[in-house]
Amino acid sequence: MPATPYVGRFAPSPSGPLHLGSLLTALTSYLDAKAHQGLWLVRIEDIDPPREQLNADRTIIDSLKAHGLISDKPILYQSTRLAHYHSVIERLLEQDQAYRCICTRAQIKAAGGKYPGTCSMTKLTTTPSAVRYRNPCSITQFNDRFSGLITLSEHEFELEDITIQRKDGLFAYNLAVVLDDIEQGITHIVRGFDLLPTTIAQMNLWQYFSPQLPDYAHTPLLVSSPGQKLSKQNHASAIDNQHALDNVLLCLSLLKISISEASKQQGLSAVLQEAVACWQQGIHFPSHEIIVT
């Protein structure tokens, strides 16, 4: 088989079961991958134990499977990658591409909210301390495949030096997500619109490790009212695997993808196949939020 130029992924944090909003994100990344004849991978982002729920990884994986969304490769757990993150940080510190920072959130807020680089000139060795990557800020905009050109002004906090290890010792999401997307050969990132503000920082970090940046596309968020994202944090209810077909049809109707009665009668895999064909015709999201009642 020829090598595929498309590798996508869904990368949930195991902070709770899959809900309708996260199913929609999983489904959009899956449909986009399959519409490009690509691979679709699942990665469990379990590097923040205080935010995690016991066995949520299994629950998420079982739900994905029940909804016909199966990873094309073995699932990668970020918790198996801690030694790698550690050695990358050590290397960045040695090369002075990163530095230790002891500033508190309150100090940064008092300085105007954007980190002013207070610790960047001092060679701190103190621990506990956070570690920040010297952001070259050479990328200030990108073309989001669904939302168009996204540009930052130099004053925005996405252009501050990027925390890659937190003061509590935990590895930062921005570092782990970039290293693992590179490790897994991800070429296309399709994820929720709530992560759009992290993208430019991640690109500035990514280009340090690899010149081949991925294609980004951010999909609409399900909200209960404007600005109120359905999320594990606000206890959006877990999806019921017994109603997988209905759940997928509901997500597709929210995305304005209509499915024929014949496919509905045939079941989940026919529905997913028809959805992939619709996706190939082109997809347009009228807004960054979809209100569900």
Where does this chain bind ligand GLU (CB under 6 A)? 11-13, 45, 177, 191, 195
Nearer to ligand GLU, 251 or 259 (CB): 251
Choice between 11 and 119, CB closer to ligand GLU: 11
Comparing CA positions, the residue from 243, 257, 215, 241 lying closest to residue 31 is 257
Cβ atoms of 222 and 292 within 8 Å: the answer is: yes
Closest CB 160 distance from ligand GLU, rounded Å: 19
Q: Smallest distance from the beta carbon of 284 to ligand GLU, in angstroms?
A: 22
Distance CA 127, CA 136 (A): 25
What stretches of the chain adopt beta strand conformation (E)? 7-10, 39-44, 76-77, 98-101, 130-133, 141-144, 148-151, 162-165, 188-192, 215-219, 221-225, 228-229, 289-291
Q: Give 34 or 191: the residue with its C-beta nearer to ligand GLU.
A: 191
The pairing of strands 39-44 and 76-77 is: parallel
Residue closer to ligand GLU (CB basis): 11 or 249: 11
Residue nearer to ligand GLU on the CB measure, 107 or 228: 228
Residues 6+ apart with CB under 8 A from 281: none
> What's the closest the beta carbon of residue 57 comes to ligand GLU, in angstroms?
12
Contacts (Cβ under 8 Å, ≥6 apart) of 91 = none
CB of 28 to ligand GLU, least distance (A): 11
Please report how close the Cβ of residue 190 comes to ligand GLU at its closest, in angstroms. 8
